[in-house]
């Protein structure tokens, strides 16, 4: 019998999400971990950011949603998508960046992480 997930995740040394049963260890990891997967700043002050959330945002409705892409600023301000895997998140970041750049008349990113 599998126990219910607590919804808390950290990244292991290989960068793969694993459940963290200990609340204190999870909180300490979250305080110091670099959770950005990708981040782009566009010339017109639009930012596209993809991060590892550390919490499952599926709330038990399907596979864990552990990554999130958001657009800040511009026409698509507050656009958001969530993903289960890092690979999906990177693809989603590319999609969001293309969306944001299309509205920025093809302006290339100023800074890439």
96 within domain boundaries:
yes
Domain that holds residue 66: 35-107
pTM of the prediction? 0.85
| Residue 79 resides in a domain | yes
Give the separation between CA 6 and CA 56, rounded to whole angstroms: 9
How high is the pLDDT of residue 60? 77
How many other C-beta atoms lie within 10 A of the C-beta of residue 72?
15
User: Quick one: pLDDT at residue 109?
Assistant: 52
The answer as to whether 19 is a domain residue is: no
Indicate whether 23 belongs to any domain. no
Question: Does residue 65 fall inside a structural domain?
Answer: yes
CA angle 84, 111, 85 (to 5 degrees): 10
**Within-domain flag for 21:** no
Query: Per the domain annotation, does 98 fall within a domain?
Result: yes
Domain count of the chain? 1
Q: Max alpha carbon distance in the chain (Å)? A: 54
Per DSSP, the three-state class of 109 is: strand
* Interatomic CA distance for residues 29 and 111, integer angstroms: 27
Residue 11 lies in a domain: no
Q: How many whole angstroms from its chain centre is CA 99?
A: 17
Report DSSP letters for 49-85, one per residue: EEEE-SB-TTTTSSS---EEEEEESSTTTT-EEEESS
Q: pLDDT tens digits for the chain (113 residues)? A: 344 578 999 999 999 999 999 999 999 999 999 999 999 999 889 999 999 999 999 987 889 999 999 999 999 999 999 999 999 999 999 999 999 988 555 444 545 54
Q: Where are the alpha helices (DSSP H) in the chain?
A: 23-32, 86-103
């Amino acid at each position: 019998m599998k126990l219910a997930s607590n919804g808390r995740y950290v990244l292991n040394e290989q960068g793969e999400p694993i459940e963290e049963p200990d609340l204190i260890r999870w909180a300490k990891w979250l305080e110091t971990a670099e959770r950005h997967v990708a981040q782009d700043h566009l010339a017109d002050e639009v930012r596209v950011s993809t991060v590892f959330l550390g919490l499952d945002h599926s709330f038990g409705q399907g596979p864990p949603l552990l990554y999130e892409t958001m657009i800040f600023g511009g026409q698509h301000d507050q656009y958001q998508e969530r993903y289960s895997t890092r690979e999906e998140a990177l693809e989603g970041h590319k999609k969001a960046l293309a969306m944001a750049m299309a509205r920025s008349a093809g302006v290339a990113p100023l800074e890439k992480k």
